[in-house]
Amino acid sequence: MSFYIEPNHHVAQAQTSTSTRRVNAAYFNGSIGYSNMSIFWFGQVDNTNNYVDVRVGYNDEMLKIQTSTFDRRLWYNAGLASSPNPTALMKGDAITLYLDLNHNGGSAPATDDYRLTTQLNWWEARDNYQAVFQGNNADWVAITLPSYTTATNWRGNAPNDNTDDRGWVSTITIPFSSLGLSGPPPQGSIWGMGMVLHDQDSSGDTSIADQTWPEALNDHLPDTWGELAFGMPDYVTPPAKIGGTTTIRHKLNDAIVPDAQVGGDTNCGDPYAPSFFNGWGDANYAGSEYLNIQNQGDVADWPCFSKMYVSFPLDALPNNKKIISAELMLHQFGGSDPSQAKLSLMQVLTVKDLWDESSISWNNAPLAVENVAAAEVDVIQDFPGWPGVATVWDVSYAVAEAYKNGTPLNLALYEADWAYHSGKYFVSAETGDWNAVARPTLKVTWGDAVFNLEVTPAVQHIKSGDTTTYTVLIQQSDDFTGTITLEAASPSTDLDLTLSPLISISTGNQATLTLTDTHPSSFSSTVEYTIPFTATGGEIVQTTTAKLLLNGQSTYLPLIIK
């Protein structure tokens, strides 16, 4: 029997899967490097609407967030310099950051919730253009946050006039000590987080709608915010017997692997010059045989920015397997001005929403769910010949999630570069069959668990004071002969549970978990519990969960007969 253990995988801090929008903040042992910060984005770019790239990183002293906003007309409240008004900061070009330190959500801002607003300004001191609010379990209250700093800058003609500009940037620095913390949260910790991009394009005009991340964010409902995780997501390679490796590539074994680039192509969006705001964001490049990934610190050059999207079907993977490892491979053949370009850190992010290669654009492309991987891509000074230079990303975490959920692997690739000429050019799925090996490729190594742990049903519904049962089934592989010990932990002191038997010695053995709610029958609140199950056989551990919905309600849709 052979087992696969990847020594390079981070296994110390496994993170749970998510469909909530999340940024996994990059950790820096020292100064926070702009080009290596984690990145996400939201908004649109046109004559009225704004778009923003958000970079996030932290070290042992601080959390830093940097924003780059594409904005045709820059406007701020010059009167705030002499007449401070924290509540007025959201009227103008501004960014609001929300933080929920305990990640406990809620229906009102609590004392662990913070709202930090940064408005653009020009030469005036920053003090009156930044404000911090803290929740009081009902509303927001203005406070002073020690050592919290912001800075802004802009590119274009000038703020507060009727001449088109390019955009503006902000830097938000939050020492952990200012939040009452002795240092950063442990790696793998999650805070609630949200952002709002405010916009004003002329004097007195505050009618432009905010752009929000996530889309349903509500200022007073922490439950609607996204997530900030400290450190990149870990993938714990499951104990498994290697079964095989499946290669997925466009046209290989009849697979359909669409890909696309959005943004400025390789010519900095030249067809949309000189304005760019009227059309650049809607450009589509269906059929392109190459893909550009590009970003930089100078927001004036946003017409050169470019992202890549790709979708791999996973139906070629056999059912009921464990994902041992997965690699994404792209082949690079060039880039922007190699004589001045620098090495780039290219980031991979997962995507949930569907997109169409024939219509995808910067403005309608899906937002990322979370960033999951990164790899360095160097400059090609002398092209070595086809298929080009391969770059590999470890996407095991993303593939395991997609496989578990029964969905394709949908990815976006982008970068957080500071340097000019950062574009890196890759071969697309549209390249000719003569260069098929250079197409975006996914290699997945999978295997069989030494034993499988299954709990049914996945969800039980009961009322206060009721009792219910779950069936725990162990399926062992033929060559596993050890003893398996079962455990189940109660998620609440209000639930009593017993599991019997606690030991399984042959395949097909079953155990029964009996669970009783101890609330009085008068308790009517709806509560959802997650019950963890663990099966241990020697050094092999399998885990799963089941749900219990207490006092839940069923919803029946009307029957429509045509």
Q: CATH 2.60.40.1190 occupies which residues in the chain? A: 22-230
What is the fold of 22-230?
Immunoglobulin-like (2.60.40)
3-state secondary structure (DSSP) of residue 140: strand
Buried b (16+ CB within 10 A) or exposed e, 57-85: bbbeebbbbbbbbbbbbbbbbeebbeeee
Q: Please say whether the beta carbons of 18 and 369 come within 8 A.
A: yes
Report the alpha-carbon distance of residue 260 to residue 258 in Å, rounded: 7
Helix (H, G, I), strand (E, B) or coil at 450: coil
Burial 186-225 (b: 16+ CB within 10 A, else e): ebbebbbbbbbbbbbbeeeeeebebbbbbeebebeebebb
**Tokens at 240, concatenated:** 């498994």
> Is 118:196 a contact under the CB 8 Å cutoff?
no
pLDDT band at 320 (very low <50, low <70, confident <90, very high): confident
The two structure tokens encoding residue 292: 């550009």
Beta-strand (E) ranges in 294-321? 306-312
pLDDT band at 479 (very low <50, low <70, confident <90, very high): low
- Total-model pTM: 0.81
Percentage with pLDDT > 90 across the chain: 85
Using pLDDT thresholds of 50, 70 and 90, give the confidence band for residue 508: low
Q: Work out the pLDDT band at 539, boundaries 50, 70, 90.
A: confident
Phi and psi of 495, rounded to 5°? -125, 125
- The pLDDT score that the predictor gives to residue 439 is 99
Buried b / exposed e along 13-24 (16+ C-beta atoms within 10 A): eebebbeebbbb
Residue 369: φ, ψ to 5°:
-80, -50
Name the amino acid, one letter, at 382.
D
Amino acid identity of 352? K
Look at residue 59 in the predicted model and tell me its pLDDT.
98
Tens digits of residue pLDDT in 203-230: 877 779 999 999 999 999 999 999 999 9
According to CATH, where is 2.60.40.10 located in the chain? 450-550
Structure tokens at 298: 């100078």
Instruction: Check residue 67 and give its pLDDT.
Output: 99
Q: In what order do the strands lie in the sheet with 484-488?
A: 459-462, 540-550, 527-537, 484-488, 503-504
CATH of domain 450-550: 2.60.40.10
- pLDDT tens string 338-377: 999 999 999 999 999 999 999 999 999 999 999 999 999 9
